[in-house]
Amino acid sequence: MSTDARELVRRLQDLLRGVRLIKQRRAEERPVIPLGLVGILAQLDGLADGCHARELALRARLDPSTVSRAVATLVSHSLVERRPDPVDRRAQVLALTPDGRTALTDTHDWYARLLDRALAGWTADEVAALSAGLRRFTRDLEVALENHENLEAAR
C-alpha cells in the first residue's frame, strides 16, 4: 500500500472541492443548461445521427432512470429532440437540437475560459501532460473497479 496512492487520494479530494466550487459558480452565473445534464448533452454530441437513451446510460454509467429524467428536462428546454425509432417502437432516437448544440458549446466555452485563466502560468506541454495523466488514470481506475466487480461476482 504505497504512500503515493495516499497522496493521490488527498489530491483528488482537493480537486473535488475545486470542482464543487466551479459548479457553484457556474450555477449562479449562467442558468443556461440545467447543469449536470451537460454530460448527457456532450455524449449526444459527436454521435451525429442520434442514439437511444440506453446508449447514453451505458456510456455515462448512469441508471436508465437518471438518463430518462435528464432527457425529459433537456427536451422541455428544447435542447434535445426525441423522435420515435422507426424500427423499435419502444425506443426513441435522441438528437441535439440546434439550440442544444449552441448551449453545449457555450457551456464548453465557459469552462474553457475559466481553465484558461487558471492555466495562465502553464505551458501547453504541461497542460497536455496533465490531460494525458488524467486520461490514463481514469481508464486504469475504471478497469480496477471493473475487475473488482468481477471478483465480487465470482464469489
Partner DNA sequence: GTAGATGCTTGCGTAGGGCAACCATCTGCC
Partner DNA sequence: GGCAGATGGTTGCCCTACGCAAGCATCTAC
Q: Tell me which residues touch its own copies (CB under 8 A).
A: 1-2, 4-22, 25, 39, 42, 60-61, 108-109, 111-122, 124, 126-131, 133-135, 137-138, 140-145, 147-148
Whole-angstrom distance, CA of residue 155 vs CA of residue 153: 5
Cα separations in angstroms, 28 against 32, 70, 78, 149: 10, 20, 21, 38
Q: What is the DSSP letter of 61?
A: T
Which grid coordinates belong to 56?
Answer: 447514453
Which residue, 85 or 137, is less far from its own copies as judged by CB? Answer: 137
* Of positions 69, 113, 139, 148, contacts DNA by CB under 7 A: 69
Which residue, 34 or 119, is less far from DNA as judged by CB? Answer: 34
Work out whether 35 is an interface residue with DNA (CB under 7 A). yes
Work out whether 104 is an interface residue with DNA (CB under 7 A). no
Which residue, 11 or 54, is less far from its own copies as judged by CB? Answer: 11
**Phi, psi at residue 114, to the nearest 5°?**
-60, -45
Whole-angstrom distance, CA of residue 108 vs CA of residue 104: 6
Work out whether 88 is an interface residue with DNA (CB under 7 A). yes
